[in-house]
Amino acid sequence: MAKEIDRYTYRVTWSEEDQEHVGLCAEFPSLSWLEETPEAALAGIRNLVQDCLSDMLSNDEAVPEPISIKHYSGKFMVRVPPETHRMLAIKAAESGVSLNRLVSSKLS
């Protein structure tokens, strides 16, 4: 089980409200773990994810796929207002690049 939890995406941040570090897991957005130190928060969320996975597996529930092993095509669609689309197309033309290249550079 330890190998499986290593594939998930963890983050530790400061919670001003709680005055502690909070451990989070992107694939389990409803879970969090508060601790005094970032190291303890990371250990806590990892243990919580492991417990959650064990419970899900024992109940034959589908477990979230780790983001780290998902295949991404590099393509996604974004809807913007027509005025924004026009403005970006003009900027791309004035810069001598494609709209795709302009938007990609802005997202990087």
Phi-psi region of 11 (alpha: psi -120 to 50; beta: other; left: phi over 0): beta
Q: What is the pLDDT of residue 3?
A: 77
Q: Do residues 24 and 12 touch, judged by C-beta distance below 8 A? A: yes
| Helix/strand/coil for 47 | helix
Residue 35: which of 26, 50, 48, 52 has the closest Cα?
48
Q: How far apart are CA 87 and CA 19, in angstroms?
A: 43
Mean pLDDT per segment of 10 residues, for the chain of length 108 residues?
Answer: 85 98 97 98 98 96 95 93 96 94 93
Considering only CA atoms, which of 58, 43, 60 is closest in space to residue 6? 43
